[in-house]
């Protein structure tokens, strides 16, 4: 049957935008886009007009004004006379710190719990099931407050570490866990320390390069190298060698009890620790279920075939099951990382000064710039979330099964 052809040379008419199937869908989309833009423009104009009538014309000059408040947990220098923009930066770094720590710990716990839930040991499997069901069904805010109350009421006071009659002692004379927070050794960087750090980062890159080369070599020859020990040597030996060659440029400042509190070292406040552990334990329960689903998605025949070839259980899991399960695990894992980062905004409940506590809390209340503060807060969280999604999507594409 001959296909109907459009008449050649027929002139364009406006009615074709509605009645011609070639243009109708585009016309509808343009109309809907125009209505949406017009609606947004009207809302913004109306809001701007109302704020102007109230004498609150939107501007961001308040970011250059002194903040006027202190932040107890911070990664960079900050005083009450620093600007609101500086307070915003401190809050951002605090958010990124707890998010990074939480993602690492939640991943380790989640993968371990997800694998153990599939254990043939009845007790281990049931204990992991109870853990998952408990933490998935308890509100995160309650977990954060509960963890904070444990640290405040259960850990010893600094004075209990003093004298011959001390009821508490430091671990390895370096770590002190008190009701005021955790005191740990603080690294002190001298001349040459950046070289050591650079060598360490290059060693990490070397581990990934070696891993890719080892995988290709195994596919060609079938020989399995002792990857763990080789990677450990790549990570440790160059860094330790340069550390001693350069005269130990990185030292540790240990905390010591002086007066009524510990001095020196690095002070991790209870608010940070409670938030970190609560976020990690809560998110790990969801990651564990994603890991379990990914492993169960792999046909049991592949596990049986690998066992028939003489592979041990740990080899089957690392070489056969997990590489294929990643394509199922990674997408929900991205969502859990995003949830953990956004859930960190509950930090204000225990006094941890993150983005919500600084820009969306004290700065907003002191300056009265609610619109500008909330807008900046939304843009910041959106940027963090999109960055995490971009990085994880790149990794997800790298582990996808590719057809030959």
Residue with tokens 């594409």: 397
Alpha carbon 352 to its chain centroid, in Å, reads 17
Within 13 Å of residue 333, how many CA atoms lie on the same side as its CB?
A: 26
First to last CA, the chain: 38
In degrees and rounded to multiples of 5, residue 251 shows phi and psi of: -120, 175
> Are 263 and 197 in contact, with CB atoms under 8 Å apart?
no
Query: Which segments of the chain have a pLDDT < 50?
Result: 1-6
Q: Both tokens of residue 271?
A: 């608010």
> Are 203 and 239 in contact, with CB atoms under 8 Å apart?
yes
pTM of the model: 0.80
User: Strand, coil or helix: what is 266?
Assistant: strand
pLDDT at 157: 83
Strand 181-184, strand 186-189: pairing: unpaired
CA torsion 22-27-28-32 (nearest 10°) is 150
Q: Both tokens of residue 68?
A: 């006027």
The whole-angstrom separation of Cα 283 and Cα 135 is 8
* Torsion over CA: 341, 343, 345, 350 (sign): negative
Nearest in space to 295 (alpha carbons), one of 261, 322, 276, 268? 322
The whole-angstrom separation of Cα 5 and Cα 7 is 6
Radius of gyration of the chain (CA): 28
Query: 209-236, pLDDT tens digit by residue?
Result: 888 888 788 778 877 777 788 888 888 8
Per-residue burial over 272-295, b = 16 or more CB atoms within 10 Å of its CB, e = otherwise? bbbbbbbbbbbbbbbbbbbbbebb
The whole-angstrom separation of Cα 67 and Cα 81 is 6
pLDDT at 2: 47
Nearest in space to 207 (alpha carbons), one of 193, 221, 227? 227
Q: Both tokens of residue 82?
A: 């620093």
> Are 190 and 251 in contact, with CB atoms under 8 Å apart?
yes
pLDDT at 250: 84
């Amino acid at each position: 049957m001959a296909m109907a052809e459009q008449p050649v040379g027929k002139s364009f008419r406006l009615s074709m935008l509605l009645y011609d199937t070639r243009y109708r869908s585009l016309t509808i989309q343009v109309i809907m886009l125009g209505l949406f833009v017009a609606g947004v423009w009207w809302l913004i104009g109306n809001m701007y007009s109302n704020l102007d009538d109230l004498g609150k014309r939107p501007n961001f000059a308040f970011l250059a004004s002194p903040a006027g408040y202190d932040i107890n947990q911070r990664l960079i220098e900050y005083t009450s006379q620093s600007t609101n923009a500086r307070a915003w930066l401190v809050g951002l770094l605090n958010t990124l710190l707890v998010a990074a720590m939480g993602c690492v710990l939640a991943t380790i716990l989640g993968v371990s719990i997800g694998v153990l839930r599939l254990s043939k040991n009845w007790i281990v499997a049931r204990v992991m099931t109870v853990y998952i069901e408990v933490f998935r069904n308890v509100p995160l805010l309650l977990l954060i407050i509960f963890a904070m109350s444990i640290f405040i009421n259960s850990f010893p006071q600094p004075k209990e570490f003093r004298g011959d009659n001390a009821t508490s002692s430091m671990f390895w004379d370096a770590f002190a866990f008190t009701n005021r927070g955790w005191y740990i050794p603080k690294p002190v960087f001298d001349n040459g320390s950046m070289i050591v750090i650079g060598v360490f980062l290059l060693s990490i890159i070397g581990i990934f390069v070696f891993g890719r080369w080892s995988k290709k070599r195994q596919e060609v020859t079938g020989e399995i190298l002792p990857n763990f020990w080789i990677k450990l040597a790549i990570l440790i030996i160059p860094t330790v060698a340069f550390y001693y060659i350069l005269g130990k440029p990185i030292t540790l400042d240990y905390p010591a009890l002086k007066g009524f509190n510990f001095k020196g070292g690095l002070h991790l406040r209870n608010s940070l620790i409670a938030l970190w552990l609560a976020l990690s334990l809560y998110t790990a329960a969801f990651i564990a279920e994603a890991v379990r689903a990914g492993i169960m998605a792999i046909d049991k025949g592949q596990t049986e075939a690998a066992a028939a070839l003489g592979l041990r259980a740990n080899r089957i899991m690392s070489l056969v099951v997990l590489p294929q399960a990643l394509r199922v695990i990674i997408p929900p894992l991205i969502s859990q990382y995003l949830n953990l980062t956004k859930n960190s905004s509950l930090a204000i409940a225990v006094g941890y000064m993150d983005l919500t506590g600084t820009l969306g809390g004290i700065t907003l209340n002191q300056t009265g710039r609610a619109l500008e503060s909330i807008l900046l807060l939304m843009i910041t969280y959106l940027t963090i979330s999109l960055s995490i999604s971009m990085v994880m999507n790149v990794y997800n594409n790298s582990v996808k099964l590719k057809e030959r």
